[in-house]
Copies of this chain bind each other. A is one copy, B any other.
Amino acid sequence: MPMHDVDLIYKKTAVLYNRGQPHFASCTSLTQTCLNLLNDSAKYRYFGSYAGTPSVKYNIFANDNGVSRPIRPDLYIEDHQELATAQARMIKALGKGAADWDEKTVRLATRVIYTSVMSFACCIDLWKRSSRKTPGTFFEIYFAGLIPCAFSDALLSKHIPLPGVSKAEEDELEEAEETQDDGSSVATDLVIARPKFKSKIVIPLKITTRERIVQPFAHQRILDSAFGKGRYHSFLTCVSETQLDHKTQSVKQVCVPGTVKLFQKHLGQISGLYYCDVPQRYAAADMAECLPVKEIGEIFRDLGQLFNT
């Protein structure tokens, strides 16, 4: 039962999170357990490259069960002591305020977050492939755990009740609970409110976007329509858009820059798009004009600056 400890700590972490209790220490403990399991029971090796300019190398974890998703070795922190140190530095830097973070601190945060989410995801890939959705849930839990480290007065939620919902509709909502019919509220992954600020932050968190990329833009449009522009700001936050290609022993980065530009122009304007592993075609100049795509560490700087204004 290689996943016994991982399962146990994950469940404990999820319970704390669902109760709205502090859970970041539990996330840390989970990450360390995952790192140890991977180091002890899987082989970490080069898989292939993304054929961009410059090309990007990817590793995988492998065991008798198969292989994990691709991992950027320049971002992933293998050593558990090094991760612990990096994490402590990140938390300290978050506590001091991220508005003026330098590039080094941004990259530190990117690496810690990437390692934490990917180590858990790779364990699922190798030992519990049936739990396909768990890595995405852990990404939500982990990221929500970081926010109070940066903004101690932050109020976190996952729903935005819409104004003007009639009694009849509320009744329907109860009935609708069973079918996840969110007609009286917008359901997302993380909403951040702070007592002194009128604007609120919506953070959809996705391991990858695929065909679900329409959702954050549609939600932004609904929020603009229901509350007026400027009340809610969406920051779509992702891990990567990579796919193993076993035939060619390479890694693909699945991008839809045209679609993103289309949605940003005609559907809803989101305020930022962040990745741990920024897909190369999203870093292009024409994307920057429309919607800059940044590494995940930058979201804390951007949020810090937004809340300072």
Contact = CB atoms under 8 A, between A and B. Distances in A.
Interface in A155-195: 162, 168-169, 172-173, 176, 179-184, 186
A258 interface: yes
A225 interface: yes
A68 B198 CA distance: 53
Contact of A173 (B172, B221, B258): B258
Contact of A184 (B222, B258, B263, B267): B258
User: Which of A162, A184, A262, A286 has the most chain B CB atoms inside 10 A of its CB?
Assistant: A262
A86 interface: no
Q: How large is the interface on A (under 10, 10 to 19, 20 to 34, 35 or more residues)?
A: 35 or more
A221 B263 CA distance: 10
A259 B217 contact: no
A261 interface: yes
A215 interface: yes
A196 interface: no
A257 B180 CA distance: 11
Interface in A215-244: 215, 217-218, 221-222, 225-226
Interface of A: 162, 168-169, 172-173, 176, 179-184, 186, 214-215, 217-218, 221-222, 225-226, 254-263, 265-267, 286
Q: Which 7 A-B pairs have the closest CB atoms?
A: A183-B258, A225-B266, A181-B256, A222-B266, A181-B258, A183-B262, A183-B259
13 contacts: A162-B262, A172-B257, A179-B256, A181-B257, A181-B259, A183-B256, A183-B257, A183-B260, A183-B262, A184-B262, A221-B221, A221-B266, A225-B265
